Structure 1
Amino acid sequence: MTPAFQFAEVRGAKLAYNSTGKGSPVVWAHGMTSATYTQERAGNFDWRPVSAEHRLIRYDARGHGRSTGGTDPVEYTWPELGKDLLGLLDAVRPPLSPGLDTPHSTSAQKVGAIGSSMGTASILYAALDRPERFSRLVLTTPPTCWETRPAANGMRLGSAQLVQDKGVAALEALSVDAPASPALVDAKRYINPIRVSARRLPAVFRGSAQTDFPPREKLAGLALPVLVMSWTGDGTHPVSSGEALAAALPNAELVVANTPAELATWGDRAAAFLR
């Protein structure tokens, strides 16, 4: 049974979140157009091993799922979503440190983090801004970045215009009902439902199109332990992005999944890494 959602007032939006399990906190940040459980229900990921050992906090990013948001693309750029994540960690109830209600306190409990695509980027920006807030990072399916980002940005702008002109159904009609990666051939569904309203979706795409990972020289100063996990065959989330990200971070290891069996290990790997 899905736990009830709570809402945190964060930077002018209401962010929906819930939590499962007990223990040290870990936050899950989903991918673009998704929501808290969308990718897990589709069979992309299984984070139950994490919630078996930790308090796993799942949340809907701004404008996604149950969370509110506006129609300014800047709201959905990755640095801004990173600020939302930090705001959520300060606002979550019960507090991440018992009796602690003061935002930005240096005594706040460190949090582990797991992200996918947009969520991975959000976590990177949040961790660069306040590295003392995090213990370890699990960064899955890094999207196109740096040298490969411009082509993806053009596609995002095209999607935004299509939705604006013809609606979400026109975008959905272009989706190919096939696994994005060989690792996903056993997934329950290949096309995930879009969990962003037609009113906000163009802004979400345009925000994505004007953003990128932090510069490599900034990531070189992020000393947190990081586990990067990529799957093969996905042009939107290429292994080359995982390799580039792991190379840019000073304390990172890379895991690549090519088969469903390899992908099925990710939940246990993440749980072990976050201990």
Structure 2
Amino acid sequence: MAAVGRHPVMEGRFCHRRAELVYDDAGEGPLAVYAHGGLVSQAVEDRMGLFDWVPVLDGGRRLVRYDARGHGRSTGEPVDTDYTYSSLADDLLGLLGHLGATEPVDAMGASMGCGTVLHAAVRAPDRFSRLVLLIPPTAWSTRQAYARANRASADIIEREGMDAWLAARRKQPRPAVVADVPAFPPTPAERVLPSLLRGLALSDLPPLSAIATLRRPALILAWADDPGHPLSTAETLAHSLPHADLCVARTRADIRTWGDRIAEHLARRRPGSRPGHRQHIA
């Protein structure tokens, strides 16, 4: 049996819309769910060593992290629309139903997972208590260039194979804040990857008018100098969400504080008691 810190991890599975989704369940207390970024998985993120979940579990939370459709241990079909943020939000809401969540839950998501969480929260705000939005992705005005690149990548994979795409990808510079983090191959299978990329190309964060209606306390954790996760998205979210704190990491040491920051955010009492509070930490 795996463990996170002193907390044993149990594996669970549930079927939803032509896929079997696999999740890790650890700890006891109020439920918090986490959705990872695109192309990786829970196991890969753990091997990358970026995010520390021990403070969340030690803070008295039950933490469920799942492999998104088509990623890691979860299955998926080569259907473009299965991988839009809106469709992935369906999976997250399905997971909450499978887990029997009757009270609002804390929801956390990184990059693609951030889009998943925001779409789910806009659609069903009463299902959520607090939000943690890690490395928000390109959105709105910056999304078009990302979408074009994703469609081109899907074409390359279908025309030349995944190895050719990976070779080109390795030549691209990485953000300095994570330059020393080990790189791993994508977890989606080659038959699914083009559809995943096209699904993400079809995606965007919800309209700002919808985001402004989310009165749940939100912690936004961003890092600097990453065109795929520009600070403009994080800053726009911080200004649009009624109750948001923004923290910007510029070094790996800054990122290592995120586990404690998340645990502190989830432990705060009286959600929504500090309207308009925002904090930008460099």
**Do Structure 1 and Structure 2 share a fold, with TM-score over 0.5?**
yes
TM-score by length of 1: 0.90
The yes-or-no answer on 1:168 pairing with 2:162 is yes
Specify the alignment match of 1:100 in structure 2: none
Specify the alignment match of 2:84 in structure 1: 77
Specify the alignment match of 1:28 in structure 2: 34
Give unmatched runs, 5+ long, in structure 2.
4-8, 268-282
Deviation by residue 1:204-231 (Cα, 9 ceiling, x = unmatched):
0000111111111111111111111110
Match of 2:126 among 132, 154, 157: 132
TM-score by length of 2: 0.88
Compute the displacement of 1:24 (Å).
Answer: 1.2
Kindly tell me the number of residue pairs found equivalent between the two proteins. Answer: 260
**Cα separation, 2, equivalents of 1:247 and 1:260:** 26
Q: CA RMSD in A?
A: 1.6
Amino acid at match of 2:255: L
Matched position secondary structure for 2:137: coil
Note closer, same or farther for the CA distance 1:220–1:126 as it changes in structure 2 (3 Å cut): same
Greater mean alpha carbon deviation, residues 236-245 or residues 198-207: 236-245
**Cα separation, 1, equivalents of 2:260 and 2:46:** 14
**Cα separation, 1, equivalents of 2:108 and 2:171:** 27
Please say if residues 81 and 87 of structure 2, whose CA atoms lie closer than 8 Å, have aligned partners that are also in contact: yes
**Cα separation, 2, equivalents of 1:186 and 1:23:** 35
Amino acid at match of 2:106: G
The yes-or-no answer on 1:245 pairing with 2:251 is no
Specify the alignment match of 1:17 in structure 2: 23
Matched position secondary structure for 2:130: strand
Specify the alignment match of 1:101 in structure 2: none
**Cα separation, 2, equivalents of 1:185 and 1:162:** 25
Match of 2:142 among 116, 141, 148: 148
Matched position secondary structure for 2:169: coil
Amino acid at match of 1:171: W
**Cα separation, 1, equivalents of 2:85 and 2:134:** 16
**Cα separation, 1, equivalents of 2:116 and 2:210:** 15
Compute the displacement of 1:182 (Å).
Answer: 3.0
Compute the displacement of 1:5 (Å).
Answer: 2.3
Amino acid at match of 1:135: S
Amino acid at match of 2:22: A
Amino acid at match of 1:5: E
Structure 1 residues 1-275: aligned runs within 5 Å: 1-2=2-3, 3-53=9-59, 54-92=61-99, 95-96=100-101, 108-176=102-170, 180-187=174-181, 189=182, 191-275=183-267
Give unmatched runs, 5+ long, in structure 1.
97-107
Note closer, same or farther for the CA distance 1:186–1:23 as it changes in structure 2 (3 Å cut): farther
**Cα separation, 2, equivalents of 1:50 and 1:179:** 32
**Cα separation, 1, equivalents of 2:139 and 2:172:** 24
**Cα separation, 2, equivalents of 1:11 and 1:186:** 38
Amino acid at match of 1:121: G
Please say if residues 69 and 76 of structure 2, whose CA atoms lie closer than 8 Å, have aligned partners that are also in contact: yes
Matched position secondary structure for 2:234: helix
**Cα separation, 1, equivalents of 2:188 and 2:72:** 6
**Cα separation, 2, equivalents of 1:272 and 1:253:** 12
**Cα separation, 1, equivalents of 2:237 and 2:123:** 18
Compute the displacement of 1:179 (Å).
Answer: 7.5
Specify the alignment match of 2:270 in structure 1: none
